[in-house]
Structures are given as C-alpha cells and as structure tokens.
Structure 1
Amino acid sequence: MERHRTEAVDALILALPETAGSALYGMVDVLAATGTLWRELSGEGPGERLIEPHVVSLSRKPFRCGNGIPVNPDISIKDADAPEILILPELWLAPTDDLHERYAGLKDWIRNCYRQGSTIYTACSGSVLLAATGLLDGREATSHWGYEDLFRRNFPAVRFNPAPNLVIADPSGRIVTAGGATSWHDLALHIIARHCSPGEALRIAKVYLLKWHGEGQLPFASLVRRQPHADSVVRRAEDWLASHFREERAVAGVVADCRIPERSLKRRFKQATGASLMDYVQNLRIEEAKRLLENDSVSAERIASVVGYGNPAFFRRLFKRCTGLTPGAYRRMFHQFQS
C-alpha cells in the first residue's frame, strides 16, 4: 500500500573535501525527483516533491570536493537541526585512512543527530566516517570491500560484512550502510521506499534506469589484497605462493621454502595478513579462476584442474561461497561487458 505524506521529508547530505562528487550530486538529483519527475514524464501532471535534499557541510563557504568538483553548501552543521534523514556519501579515502584524527566537531554533530532521532545512511566509504564516531560499535555494517582490512585493524568492534549491498545495523533501522561505489543507487531506492513508498522507489528506478544489485559485492571483490606489514618471512611466503598456488601441496611447499616451523609460519601469516595460509591459497586459486572465466571459454571442470582442484564439485561449492555466484553465472555476468 502506498504511504502518503503531507510534507516533504528533510534530508541532509554531508559534503566534505574528500566527498565523491558523483555520489553527492547523484543522491541530490535522485531524491529531489521524488513525487514529481515520473508524473512529468508520464503525463500525469504536476506532483509534489516528497524528499527535500540539502547539502550540509562544516560551513557554508564554497569549496571543491573530490576531483575538483565545486560544492556550495546549503547549510552548515552549526546551523542545522537534526534531520529526519542524514546521508554520509562516498569519500575518497586511502584503504588505511580511518579518519580518527579529523573532524572531531563533525563526529560530535553526527552523534547528536542520532541521539535526536535522525536516521543515518552511509554509502561506500561514508561508513568509515560513521565508524569513527563509534555509532557502529557492536553493530554489523558494510562498505566497499576494499575497506575490509581497515575495519578489521582499526574498528574491531564493528562486525564488518563485505558481501551485501545494504546492511541495516540496528533493530530500529536507524543506521543503514551501503556497499561500494554505485551502491548509493541501492541506498537511494531504499530511502525512497522507506520514507515515501515502495511504489515511488519503483518509479524512480524506472526513470533513472537504476538497477537493484541483488548479487551484492562478492562477485566484484578482490579476494587477495597485499597488506602493509614488516614481516619479511610472511612477505617471502606471499611471493612464493603467488607463483606456486596451483600446486597440490602448496602449503607444505611454502613452509619448506620459508624454512621455519609450520606452526610459526601459520601464526605469523595470520597475524600479518588476516588470512590463514590455506585461505590465502584458496583465495589465489579463486582469483585465477575468476580471471579465466572472465576472459576464456574453458569449461569450469578444466578451470578447476588448472587452478589446483581435482574435484570440480568442490571447486564449484568453494567458488560460490567466495563470490556468491556459480562459475557459470559469474561467466555470464562478466561476459555481458564484452558483448
């Protein structure tokens, strides 16, 4: 059933120098179109805007955000009351930048908005800023898969989940985090469905040709990421495995090459990389399988053998667990970009 409101929902979208302009202005455009654009394009006559988005920043002084895109804030945080909707969009952050040392006053303002009843939505790396406020402690959250290690190291109290596109962090639904990059599309549709109506979300999706990414982030995530660390033995192990991961006894081989006790290597490897030796080998194999599926027409059975698995059924189960898709579905998904 459609829900009708008598007045537009107030939504503040945060802009900082690190903000990605595409996510900022894309969200402004999509939310501002609620209640009006579909009616105009379909000939139904004028409508009334259902969400009023405004750009909020540290001050009202104009500045440039990511890639030099100009921003003219509508309001500053010192003058802004707690909105019904507060959106923290994508930030251009290095995978080691946890924002602990920046924006103390802004973090206080975000916490105060939540205490006063705001519903907080984050897109992509916006959840890093929210994590730095402490509001995600003890809660499940997502972000771009590239920030998984940052969360593991710097926000251990957050239950980080890199797989889904949206995570509702608390039973009240007042904290929602979205995954990477264009998952702000999914977030915008969720906001519209929740604060306006599912029907309006569908209409906006049709107008903007927005697709709900039901497959989540796993098909796009890199399973192997080199972590900064100072353990030369672990680095040697990583280098050896990069060339020998296809071998049947890869774990035994890397232990022999590193010339330290197996238990010590496994402990140090897990501590430095966050992954066990066996998981690291499996991740290397699945990444190679993904590359072959993206660029070749070789059968899944042959690919299983090439990457080190003699049992194709086990390979298929492992592949789906790591990517969320079967090898065949993964191939079809990525071949559409080549047609």
Structure 2
Amino acid sequence: MKHVSILVPETAVSAAIVDPRYMFTAVNEFIKGQGRPPLFNVQLVGMTKEVRLNDGLISIHCDAVISQLLKTDLIIVPAISGHIEHALERNQALLPWIVDHYKRGAEVASLCLGAFLLASTGLLNGKSCSTHWLFANEFRRMFPDVTLTDDKIIVEHNGLYSSGGAHSYWNLLLHLVEKYAGREMAILAAKFFVLDIGLDSQSPFSIFKGQKMHEDLEIKKVQDFIETNYQDKITVDDLSDNFGIGRRTFERRFKKATNNTVVEYLQRVKIEVAKKQFELTRKTVNEVMYDVGYSDTKAFRDVFKKVTGLSPIDYKNKYNKDAA
C-alpha cells in the first residue's frame, strides 16, 4: 500500500487539501469495486493536529503531525495563499521534514503555489518546476536557481513534481494516479471527475501583465513605450537609440528587469492585445494580425501558437462567444 501524506500548511488553500484526498480515496473505491484491496493510505499531516484556514472559517483536523510520521511514499504540498513570504515564514518547520523524507525515498508533488514551499526546501535548485503563471515573476525573483517552466501543467524531475495554476493540479493528480495505479485507473478517474486527461499547457489561460516589479525606471519607460506603440514596427536598435542606451547594455538591462528579451517582450505585448481582440470582437484573424503590427500570416500564427499553445482561430473559437 502506498502512503500518501497531504500536508496541511498554515495559510493553505483548503481546496488543494480536500481535492487530493478526494482523488486518492475515490481511486481506492474504484479499486475496491474491482474486488481488489485499496492501494492508497491517505493521511492529512500538519505541524499541529488542527489547522485553521480562511481566517478561521475552516478547521482541518489532521490524521497525524509531522513528528509522528516516520515513513511515507508521496508528499502532496498544497497551494499556499496570502502574502507568499509571510506564508513561507509560518511554515518553516515543514521544510526539513520534506527534505528528510525525500532523501529517504518519498516523492514530493507541489500543487500550484505550493511550488514556493517546495522551492524553499532547496530540493528544486538546478531543476525545473511549474507554478501559477500569474506568480511567475515573483517565483523567479525569489528562486533564481530554479528553472521555472510556467507554461507547463506538469513538470517532473527526479521524484519531484509540480503543477501549473489553480485547478490544473487535478492533472498532476491524474498523472500520479496513473504512475501508481495504472492508466486504466487514471482514465476512470478522469471520467469520474470530468477532467481533460490530455491537458499539458496552461499557456492558453495566461494573461501577460508586463513584468514591472523592478526598480529600473528607464526600462519601465521602454515597456510603457512598447505597450503604447505595439502596432508599430519597433526594433531593438530603435529602442536603444530612442532611450540613449547602448544596444548591448540595453538588452542586458531589459532581460534582467523583465525576464524577457526585448523581442520576446514585443511579441508578448502584441499577442496579448490580439488575444483580447479575439475574445471580445468579431474581427477576422487577418484584421487582428494587422491591428497588432504583423503583416506576415505565418509569422503571426507561429508566434501566437508559441505564446498561447493554440492557433489564432482555435483561440478565437475557444474564448469568443459569438465564434462558438
């Protein structure tokens, strides 16, 4: 029997505790329905026997505290909420416990913003992970030694798993069910919970906000200029000349401040405007393409798909009510 320990951190998102428990206990019922013994021993584990969440509105009663649990096979790290750094401070006692059990053979899976807690252990240094796309910049700032692949729903590396934003963690749970219980059980779980078992990217759901949580005021002015003049043909040389910064220095400072190259940033701004037009207007793909400054249909389609994971027409059909 596989022992699954679902952590109950302070300031955790309650659904990210309840949902994994529901998934693994449901799979146990599926297996029992086939006349076989259950596969998972599922426990809620916290620093104390009772953890109050959502400003005290919800009380989680743990099956065990971390000091009592000597062996486990899989640790689920749920999403945390509120101010990230404060949440990490309140859960420091969990970090050595996670590291100890990982070194003793347990696998560890973080759900959404649980990646911040997992990364705080140091186990992800030099490795890749995913988290909610909205917190990508903050994650990169706090954990520069971790490679964030924020477009991915699931990232796996040496027994360390992470999921993308919000309810995409259901797909990581399906992935773990398939690993431990087989493809048949994963398909059954997907059908029971009405989940898309093939979902592998959160790019179609992301919104580009422009990375401005930095202190380089000149680069912020460049970003504002790009966002105001996205429909124009703007080159890196034009920007470096207009703002009086040598090209090499300009590119280095821009990358450091925004985590994007200048060309990537230009593309992301244009595509974000295109997405909004596809969502809210009846414009054709070509009309939107010209509006955001592209004249080459193939180039626009390729960049759009690279950023969103969908072709322009597929994106329009997915999000535009009239198109649907």
Say yes or no: TM over 0.5: yes
Contact 1:11–1:51 (CA under 8 A) maintained in structure 2? yes
TM-score (norm 2): 0.90
Contact 1:111–1:133 (CA under 8 A) maintained in structure 2? yes
Match of 1:274 in 2: 259
Q: Does 1:77 align with 2:66?
A: yes
Q: Does 1:306 align with 2:295?
A: no
Structure 2: how far apart are the matches of 1:21 and 1:329? Answer: 34
For 1:121-270, list aligned pairs within 5 A.
121-170=109-158, 174-249=159-234, 251=236, 254-255=239-240, 257-270=242-255
Contact 1:59–1:73 (CA under 8 A) maintained in structure 2? yes
Match of 1:322 in 2: 307
Q: Pick closer, same or farther for the CA change 1:335–1:52 going to 2, 3 Å.
A: farther
Secondary structure in 2 matching 1:70: strand
Contact 1:11–1:83 (CA under 8 A) maintained in structure 2? yes
Deviations 1:296-338 (A, max 9, x none): 2322122111101111111111111111111111112223699
Which of these residues, 296, 317, 321, is aligned with residue 281 of structure 2? 296
Structure 2: how far apart are the matches of 1:300 and 1:337? Answer: 14
Aligned length: 324
How far the C-alpha of 1:239 sits from its partner, in A, is: 1.8
Deviations 1:206-260 (A, max 9, x none): 2221222525111112234333222221222222222111111365554455344
The percentage of aligned residue pairs carrying the same residue is: 25
Match of 2:49 in 1: 60
Letter in 2 for 1:109: W
Contact 1:10–1:84 (CA under 8 A) maintained in structure 2? yes
Uncovered stretches (5+) of structure 2, i.e. residues with no partner: none
Contact 1:107–1:133 (CA under 8 A) maintained in structure 2? yes
How far the C-alpha of 1:62 sits from its partner, in A, is: 3.8
Contact 1:57–1:77 (CA under 8 A) maintained in structure 2? yes
Letter in 2 for 1:208: F
Match of 1:35 in 2: 28
Q: Does 1:11 align with 2:4?
A: yes
Q: Pick closer, same or farther for the CA change 1:305–1:98 going to 2, 3 Å.
A: farther
Uncovered stretches (5+) of structure 1, i.e. residues with no partner: 1-7
For the aligned residue pairs, the C-alpha RMSD in angstroms reads: 2.6
Return 235-244 or 123-132, whichever deviates more: 235-244
Contact 1:36–1:48 (CA under 8 A) maintained in structure 2? no
How far the C-alpha of 1:65 sits from its partner, in A, is: 4.5
Deviations 1:61-96 (A, max 9, x none): 3422578432111111111123111100111155x6
Structure 2: how far apart are the matches of 1:300 and 1:128? Answer: 38
How far the C-alpha of 1:269 sits from its partner, in A, is: 2.2
Structure 2: how far apart are the matches of 1:53 and 1:27? Answer: 9
Contact 1:99–1:132 (CA under 8 A) maintained in structure 2? no
Contact 1:293–1:330 (CA under 8 A) maintained in structure 2? yes
Letter in 1 for 2:220: R
Structure 2: how far apart are the matches of 1:321 and 1:162? Answer: 13
Secondary structure in 1 matching 2:28: coil
